[in-house]
A and B are shown apart, each in its own frame.
Chain A
């Protein structure tokens, strides 16, 4: 798919992120519908802060972010710790995504049906149908990651921000999760920014891969040259 012709979903203009001190400076980037961007780099260098800043959870130190998405439900976020409600059921957690992603404008019954349909479809796709009523705290780490993915799939965001949600997953789980997310992104022409520890996987999944080094975000144009 040619992403260059479409209007950017996210535009970062001279963006500097951090808390008291800048962690990553002067980021200029455009992310278009359908694009998958990976960010790699060692721990504690500002990757998560960048994602949280784009999500609107942290104020930028400098520069600006232009988001061309719906304010409600347009942005999906899977934090490193997944953001699940531990005492609530799988269906409740997935339902939150569906709630954010569906409009109240239609009549309540139609909305309710559409919301439930999304929840059921997402739970089924992630192979969690038999766990729908279980509190998420009772699930294994891999199953919890599938719940967080189902929540995002039920939401159907235009832009997905995912923070290392593939790490510590076994190969079977990674396969199920990655296939479902990439299918969704392709079908709905949505974009994703993924923070990933595994560089090989990042390059394999994404269209563009960036690395944070010495406070700068730089594109890895050639994975081989980075390895040297």
Chain B
């Protein structure tokens, strides 16, 4: 046992040393930029990035704003909302594609003759980043959100599909064996046994993928696939970094909010929720305060 632990420790240390050696060769042995660039960043921050241009959170001058709150006509809101919409549609479509394909890729559910080509297809869709898919779809359907949605959908099928079939392969074998022995068909086993048993993991992955697509959706606009990335690209092109900074802050806030929302939804289906009903406070409060809140509730 001790010998095994020592072997693992040596492998770990060896891997870290190998990474440092490879890094050194990548940068040609010159580590000085890593330590001497602080002044450049401070200068860039003070002269170009801060303070952000908050006017982007106000209503656009054209077209005329019909909403009672100007923020809802702002470039930041319109761009971010379009990105979220694109990510939502792509995640839903990608999830449907992935959940139909992943049982055909799981080796504990189908023979290798079926799982192998399906895995190859998924690997192919995953091998190109969504940015490259966006370029391809822009060539096919033109500039705009449609290309962005198709790009993210394709990538989602490959990426989420891989997570899903790994989740399915990792499930306990006894429900599968009981249902096979009963004589249930392959599709019944998939939809009535495998998917319900893997449901917590699948939901968690779905929420992760939505958050991932929102983050990546912001980049897709750089190649003209719509969303907040369109504005980012526009202002980067004009070197207007205060405006860029505003969009970065908006993206950061949205991603954090989505992460909290995802944590909240997941907290209902994990096994902890069996003994402790989650509440918004347990997500937003620091851990000590959340525990106190829970104990107070239990006392009641």
Residues of A whose CB lies within 8 Å of any CB of B are: 52, 55-57, 70-88, 92, 96-97, 99-101, 135, 137-138, 151, 155, 157, 161
Contacts and interface: CB of A to CB of B under 8 A. Distances in A.
Given A55-B177, A77-B181, A83-B178, 16 more contacts: A57-B180, A70-B183, A72-B183, A73-B182, A79-B177, A81-B172, A82-B174, A83-B174, A84-B175, A86-B197, A88-B196, A96-B192, A96-B193, A97-B182, A155-B182, A161-B181
Name B's interface SS. Answer: helix
The 3 closest A-B pairs by CB, nearest first: A83-B178, A77-B181, A72-B183
Contact of A83 (B177, B200, B269): B177
Contact of A73 (B176, B178, B183, B269): B183
A97 B188 CA distance: 12
A99 B184 contact: yes
A75 to B, nearest CB: 6
B181 A85 contact: no
B74 interface: no
B179 interface: yes
16 contacts: A56-B180, A70-B183, A73-B182, A73-B183, A75-B182, A76-B181, A76-B182, A77-B178, A77-B182, A85-B175, A85-B197, A96-B179, A99-B184, A100-B179, A137-B274, A155-B182
B200 A52 contact: no
B183 A57 contact: no
Given A75-B183, A100-B184, A137-B274, A85 B177 contact: no
B192 A99 contact: yes
A85 B193 contact: yes
B188 A77 contact: no
A87 B192 CA distance: 11
B177 A52 contact: yes
B199 interface: yes
Nearest to A95: B192
Nearest to B200: A87
A137 B270 CA distance: 11
B192 to A, nearest CB: 6
A23 to B, nearest CB: 18
The size class of the interface chain B forms with chain A is 20 to 34
Interface in B140-188: 172, 174-184, 188
B271 A85 contact: no
B188 A79 contact: no
Nearest to A74: B183
A107 to B, nearest CB: 19
Interface string B250-275: 00000000000000000001010010
A115 to B, nearest CB: 12
A81 B196 contact: no
Nearest to A70: B183
Interface centre among B193, B196, B197 (most CB of A within 10 A): B196
A76 to B, nearest CB: 7
A138 B271 CA distance: 9
Nearest to B180: A57
Nearest to A138: B274
A55 B181 contact: yes
A73 B180 CA distance: 10
A158 to B, nearest CB: 11
Contacts of A86: 197
Contacts of B177: 52, 55, 57, 77, 79, 83
Nearest to B199: A87
Given A71-B183, A86-B197, A99-B188, A79 B274 contact: no
Nearest to A88: B196
A77 B175 CA distance: 10
Given A137-B271, A138-B274, A83 B175 contact: yes
A85 B196 contact: yes
A177 B115 CA distance: 41
Interface centre among A72, A74, A82, A86 (most CB of B within 10 A): A86
Contacts of B180: 55-57
A67 to B, nearest CB: 11
Interface centre among B183, B188, B200, B274 (most CB of A within 10 A): B183
Contacts of B176: 83
Contacts of A77: 177-178, 181-182
A128 to B, nearest CB: 17
Nearest to A57: B177
Nearest to A75: B181
Interface string B74-114: 00000000000000000000000000000000000000000
Contacts of A88: 196-197
A9 to B, nearest CB: 15
A166 to B, nearest CB: 17
B196 A56 contact: no
Nearest to B194: A85
